[in-house]
Amino acid sequence: DRVAHPLRADRSKLYMADLESALHYSLRVEATRASSLSGAQLAAFKCYVATLVKYFPGRPCVQTYLQTLDVWLRNWTEPELPRTVLKEAMKNNRDASHPSVLPTNVTWVGCQGSERHFRGYPCGLWTIFHLLTVQAAQNGPDKELPLEVLSTMRCYVRHFFGCQECAEHFEAMAAKSMDRVASREEAILWLWSHHNEVNARLAGGDTEDPKFPKLQWPPPDLCPQCHKEERGVHAWEEPAVVTFLKAHFSPANIYMDHAE
């Protein structure tokens, strides 16, 4: 049984199986639904892969996979990229001296829902996005290209995210305030606070897994120091939130349970 019991996963951890499953699904399934990629859609795909190469803290075989795909895409200069050609280029190569492999099985651990139609891929995609904003802040100059990861995500969601309604909501939030983000650290907080906005909107709705109620995250049991009260009203202690997010979305917090 490859599927972890949802209640046994630890909410304070990230699982490589979730990250790789979401990567596999986004690259090989979601982004290749159209018969070919061209124009802004092709640019969005190239941008997504280039950002993953820079900031996704993958296992060596997955890093090699992403690097190989990135080089291949950079060499593709024709205006149109047929899906069949791209799918061929995205196959694994286990024979090479440096294996280039992104597992093709989908196994949810931290993102496992209590029923099949809950959680899974959207949970994995959020996790990748947060991880990328944090890794970009940890590994790049704070004031340079503050929107590098956020705009890559925005393009990905706009062009590929399968839930059309979600993509429209996200684009509306992005259009309202994303361009005011002035540093990589602010980018971490922008994504965190807007994900909480989504959580608040969806709480109690029919897409909510009853075993995983939508919370303002991180809840006090995960991060007591993230919460405070100002004149009797709940408020976030933002510096503590940044510290928490940097530790939560760090390579050291990624566990290999149930990875291939």
Q: Which residues contribute to the site for ligand FAD (CB under 6 A)?
A: 111, 119, 122-123, 125-127, 130, 157, 163, 165-166, 169-170, 192, 195-196, 198-199, 202, 207, 209, 212, 217
The CB-of-154 to ligand FAD minimum distance in angstroms stands at: 9
Side-chain half-sphere exposure of 254, counting CA atoms within 13 A:
19
- Kindly tell me which of 101 and 132 has the beta carbon lying closer to ligand FAD: 132
Q: How far apart are CA 77 and CA 259, in angstroms?
A: 35
- Pick the closer one to ligand FAD by CB: 64 or 127: 127
Q: How far is CA 141 from CA 131, 137, 211, 241, in A?
A: 17, 7, 40, 20
Cβ 77 to ligand FAD shortest distance, Å: 30
Q: How far is the CB of 157 from ligand FAD (least distance, A)?
A: 5
- Pick from 226, 230, 256: which is nearest to 244 by CA? 226
Contact between 4 and 16 under an 8 Å Cβ cutoff? The reply is: no
Q: Which residue's C-beta sits nearest to ligand FAD?
A: 166
Distance from CA of residue 233 to its chain's centroid? Answer: 31
Nearer to ligand FAD, 123 or 187 (CB): 123
Which residue's CB is nearer to ligand FAD, number 61 or number 109? Answer: 109
CB of 80 to ligand FAD, least distance (A): 27
d(C-alpha 49, C-alpha 67), whole Å = 8
